[in-house]
Structure 1
Amino acid sequence: MTTPQPHFTLNNGVELPQIGFGVYQTPPEETADAVQTALETGYRHIDTAAAYGNEKGVGEALKRSGLARSDVFLETKVWVVDYGYDQTLHAFEKSVAKLGVDQIDLLILHQAYPKYFDKTIQAYKALETLLADGKVRAIGVSNFLPVRLERLLAETDVVPAVNQIEVHPYTQQRELQDFNREHGIITQAWSPIGGLRTYSDGDTPLTNDTIAAIGKAHGKTPAQVMLRWHIQEGRQVIPKSVRPARIAENFDVFDFELSAEEITRIDSLEQGMTMVPDELDLDAFGIEVPEA
């Protein structure tokens, strides 16, 4: 039996497992098997998104698992084409139908959409309605910079429970993390081991000598060191893989602790390589979210 993992408590009292399983870029035909493996390993938080096109696979894995619905924390995201009050309410209906559930534990906006920020605000107000109606247990955002969060907080009533952003040793976004913390917003780290970015010199956090040395001292891999670093600094993490061995490795981070000196050494690896979400041409993505 896998030892139950610790949880973070969101700003509305809902508990979120410290480590989740992500399915970004996981092919729809591989999603059910990958999520099933994760659930068998002990993960109890699954993070998906309407734009990933694999919510049905997540739902299939949940069905196969035999686990009670209350045992698995499901998170998904509304894509920008479904922003707007009524559109976002319908986006929820599409997601629950694909996931095969009645309630979503955490529903978030996938991206700030500066070009249509009024629609972004209306989308968030729809999340507030879903929360008030008990159709979701918590709401939040992803890839929101402080300037966007400030406007959101000024024009809505519910403080986001999470802001899911890119964080790893080379891209730490400390100013944004500080803003989140000051407002009681949990930082969720996507790409927590830095595997989604291409570096010109071929170096990555996974091949960094400092991280490797810390891992060697603990008998852990660089990925495990980074995931532990996130957890000890108060971030929730969402690693991803379709390989059973790597899925298990990423979950095996609760039996060691980094020293303050080791954490400082990892903190010092910041390279300021932040992807600025506001600069993305979201219209060019061409992502449509079909009906269930």
Structure 2
Amino acid sequence: QCHPHLVLPSLRESLQNLQMEYVDLYLIHWPISLKPGPAVFPVKREDAVPFDFAGVWRAMEECHRLGLAKAIGVSNFTTSHLHKLLAAATVPPAVNQVEMNPVWQQRKLREYCAEKGIHVAAYSPLGGQNWSGDGNAVLDSEVLAEIAKARGKTVAQR
């Protein structure tokens, strides 16, 4: 739900549930905040509230300072989101985890992160959720299929 006052208590609850003293990496999953309370899916637009970049990041930095998170980072942040966050940060994010695959290479974002010293971690290398139902742009790619076939592999193996 990403509210400054919930970051540290949420991590402490997770650590207790995991029976661990710290996590290696603690991420903000989305640069989105919802009204406090139980999450309801699908999320409704009216449940979104403005995201407090500075406040949430200060809370993440406190988790790091306390040693409860060895590193802190973000997920699904664009260059614009990172710019807002970095303006308030004393500890820059170690990682930005984003969807990245052969058809969505995130060049501008990767360049920005490299310039700022932020590691990029990719998820969905075989293509993400296609909400329109038109198939999978990576697995259905004719070019990738030709490359895979020439090497005696499937698209996923290549």
- The TM-score range, normalised by the shorter chain, is 0.7 to 0.9
2:133 paired with 1:214: no
Give TM-score scaled by structure 1 length.
0.45
Identity of aligned residues (%): 38
Q: Distance in 2 between matches of 1:199 and 1:169?
A: 19
Offset, 1:200: 5.4
Tell me the residue number matched to 2:3: 83
1:200-252 per-residue CA deviation (whole Å, 9 max, x = no partner) reads 54353112222122223444331232xxxxxxxxxxxxxxxxxxxxxxxxxxx
Q: Is 1:117–2:36 an aligned residue pair?
A: no
Aligned to 1:177: 110
> 1:126 and 1:204, CA in 2 relative to 1: closer, same or farther beyond 3 A?
same
Output one character per residue of 1:34-72: Cα deviation in whole Å (capped at 9) or x when no partner: xxxxxxxxxxxxxxxxxxxxxxxxxxxxxxxxxxxxxxx
More displaced 10-residue stretch of structure 1: 154-163 or 188-197: 188-197
Gaps of 5+ in 1: 1-80, 226-292
Secondary structure of 1:196's partner?
coil
RMSD between aligned residues: 2.1
3-state SS in 2 of match to 1:138: strand
Match of 2:76 in 1: 143
Report the 3-state secondary structure (helix = DSSP H, G, I; strand = E; otherwise coil) of the residue aligned with 2:104.
coil
* Distance of 2:149 and 2:3 partners within structure 1: 46
User: Aligned pair in 2 of structure 1 residues 145, 83: CA closer, same or farther (>3 Å)?
Assistant: same
Residue 214 to residue 99, structure 1, CA distance change in 2 (3 Å): farther
Separation (CA, whole Å) in 2 of partners of 1:211 and 1:143? 25
**Structure 2 residue ranges without an equivalent (≥5):** 34-48
- Is the partner of 2:82 in helix, strand or coil? helix
2:37 is equivalent to residue 103 of structure 1: no
Do the aligned partners of residues 144 and 202 (structure 1) sit closer, same or farther apart at CA in structure 2, a change above 3 Å counting? closer
Aligned length: 143
Normalised TM-score (structure 2): 0.79
Secondary structure in 2 aligned to 1:222? coil
Establish whether residue 163 from structure 1 lines up as the match of residue 87 from structure 2.
Answer: no
Q: Structure 2: which amino acid aligns with 1:105?
A: D
Give the counterpart letter for 1:83 in structure 2: H
> How many Å apart are 1:110 and its aligned residue?
0.8
Structure 2 counterparts to residues 24-103 of structure 1, below 5 A: 81-84=1-4, 86-103=5-22
Change (3 A) 1:123 1:99: same
Write the distance in 1 (CA, Å) between the matches of 2:6 and 2:99: 27
Tell me how far apart the structure 2 counterparts of residues 178 and 213 of structure 1 sit (CA, whole Å). 29
